[in-house]
């Protein structure tokens, strides 16, 4: 017996395991990572992480964005104006630096769009540590909450399309269903080691934690408690710290000064500083040469390191941002946002090298060289040229015909110069 279609099983467009991700539907889920510690120890106090994040942020902020409808570039569009001036308080470059900075420090990025008359007028970056995700019944966010100064602002999320005025972009995290994994968290040990090494060396400079030498008394002679206390106070007041560096010491009572160099432990601390600095740079995908960290020869020169930085770190991040913005901003308007890769200096240098190789190749046709450069083919461009005289290989073959069938001189001139034989 067939049931009427009215009673057919209703299909649901949702994940089968989505509901399993939700433990407390409608309740805020907090990130278990300490954003304040990452920002303080990994950015504010660590010069390597600070420079690595800024290198990536500055690179992303320097690119030019384009709008396309199909294959046609649109030079004037509201999206271009929006990206140039997202809000009254920030320029496009400042906005992008904040976007990348928040993403690198927390592994999460939140931005809000402001609509007026159905058109996006402004965008704002929201601090990740103030944002909470409220899971829905289907495993998708039900809402986003922003809490600050005893105020709570809530943005609802469409349970079917996930459409919202707040957009969440996050790095992959294998242990969390809602929040991303920060590069600083992955490199936390290296950040801590680098900070500790810096504090060690700071202590050597300020507090003389390791003496540059030792005072010794004559054999059999011991200092009294008063003498020891007076000598210690004198050393602390007159010979300790950076301001007293190089001051000559006045000795009495047979005391001798024995010079001491850096101990093996101190030397190891210095090497640990450079090693941990390289690990911090590795966590962010920034070649150490670009930050001035010594002892790393992965790339033969600065230009090669810069190209690797763009190809391995910046361009993938740009593509991630472009895909996210297209889904949230551009697709509803029937256009597509793209990055102008041709304007990136590091990529332009690589392209110029490729073009030079194509121009010097002896086995490529004119049209094949033009294709490498991104140009359209031209009529008559399918001939291979001989370097010696830059004539086509077909002409050269005809000129080198067997002696049994020699080419008349007049025909040879006509072939080379394009003149008619008399």
89 in any annotated domain: yes
At 94-150, the pLDDT tens digits run 999 999 999 999 999 999 999 988 889 999 999 999 999 998 887 789 999 999 988
pLDDT, position 215:
63
130 in any annotated domain: yes
300 in any annotated domain: no
Same domain, 173 and 205: no
**Burial bucket for residue 156 (CB in 10 Å: 0-12, 13-18, 19+):** middle
Same domain, 44 and 175: yes
Same domain, 41 and 140: yes
Tally the domains of the chain. Answer: 3
355 in any annotated domain: no
311 in any annotated domain: no
Same domain, 47 and 92: yes
Same domain, 172 and 27: yes
Same domain, 20 and 149: yes
pLDDT, position 86:
96
Same domain, 169 and 229: no
- The boundaries of the domain holding residue 376 are 361-417
Bridge partner list, 67: 74, 337
pLDDT, position 31:
43
Angle at 354 between CA 352 and CA 357, to 5 degrees: 110
pLDDT, position 406:
58
Cα 129 to Cα 34, 103, 132, 356, distances in angstroms? 8, 11, 8, 50
pLDDT, position 367:
79
33 in any annotated domain: yes
Give Cβ neighbours of residue 70 (< 8 Å, ≥ 6 apart).
Answer: none
317 in any annotated domain: no
**The last residue of a domain, from among 154, 182, 210:** 182
CA 135 to chain centre: 30
Residues in the chain where the model's pLDDT stays below 50:
1-12, 17-21, 29-31, 209-210, 421-422
Same domain, 140 and 232: no
Same domain, 44 and 154: yes
**The last residue of a domain, from among 265, 284, 303:** 284
pLDDT, position 42:
86
Same domain, 126 and 275: no
Same domain, 43 and 120: yes
Judge whether 153 and 245 are in contact, CB under 8 Å: no
**The last residue of a domain, from among 147, 182, 217:** 182
44 in any annotated domain: yes
Give Cβ neighbours of residue 352 (< 8 Å, ≥ 6 apart).
Answer: none
pLDDT, position 339:
94
pLDDT, position 219:
63
pTM flag (> 0.95): no
pLDDT, position 263:
58
Same domain, 247 and 267: yes
Backbone angles phi, psi at 4, to 5 degrees: -60, 155
């Amino acid at each position: 017996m067939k049931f009427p279609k009215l009673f057919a099983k209703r299909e649901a467009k949702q994940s089968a395991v989505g509901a399993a991700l939700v433990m407390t539907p409608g309740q805020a889920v907090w990130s278990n990572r300490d954003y304040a510690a990452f920002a303080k120890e990994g950015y504010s106090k660590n010069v390597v992480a600070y420079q690595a994040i800024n290198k990536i942020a500055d690179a992303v902020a320097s690119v030019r964005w384009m709008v396309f409808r199909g294959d046609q570039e649109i030079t004037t569009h509201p999206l271009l104006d929006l990206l140039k001036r997202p809000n009254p308080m920030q320029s496009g470059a400042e906005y992008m630096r904040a976007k990348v900075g928040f993403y690198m420090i927390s592994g999460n990025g939140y931005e809000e769009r402001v609509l007026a008359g159905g058109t996006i007028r402004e965008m704002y970056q929201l601090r990740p540590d103030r944002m909470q995700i409220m899971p829905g019944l289907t495993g998708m966010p039900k809402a986003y909450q922003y809490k600050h100064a005893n105020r709570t602002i809530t943005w609802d999320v469409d349970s079917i399309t996930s459409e919202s005025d707040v957009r969440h972009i996050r790095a992959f995290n294998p242990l969390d269903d809602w929040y991303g994994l920060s590069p600083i968290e992955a490199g936390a040990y290296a950040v801590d080691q680098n900070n500790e090494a810096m504090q060690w060396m700071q202590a050597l400079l300020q507090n003389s934690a390791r003496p540059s030498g030792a005072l010794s008394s004559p054999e059999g002679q011991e200092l009294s408690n008063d003498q020891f206390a007076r000598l210690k106070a004198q050393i602390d007041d007159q010979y300790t710290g950076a301001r007293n560096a190089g001051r000559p010491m006045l000795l009495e009572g047979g005391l001798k000064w024995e010079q001491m160099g850096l101990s093996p432990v101190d030397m190891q601390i210095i090497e640990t500083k450079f090693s941990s600095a390289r690990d911090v740079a590795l966590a962010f995908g920034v070649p150490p040469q670009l930050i001035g960290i010594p002892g790393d020869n992965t790339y033969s020169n600065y230009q090669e390191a810069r190209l690797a930085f763009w190809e391995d770190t910046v361009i993938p991040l740009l593509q991630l941002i472009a895909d996210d913005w297209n889904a949230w901003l551009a697709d509803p308007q029937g256009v597509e946002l793209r990055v102008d890769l041709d304007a990136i200096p590091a990529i332009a240098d690589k392209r110029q090298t490729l073009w030079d190789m194509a121009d010097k190749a002896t086995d490529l046709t004119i049209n094949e060289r033009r294709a490498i450069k991104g140009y359209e083919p031209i009529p008559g461009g399918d001939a291979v040229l001989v370097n010696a005289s830059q004539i086509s290989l077909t002409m050269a073959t005809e000129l080198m015909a067997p002696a049994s069938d020699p080419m008349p001189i007049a025909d040879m001139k006509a072939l080379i110069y394009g003149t008619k034989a008399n």
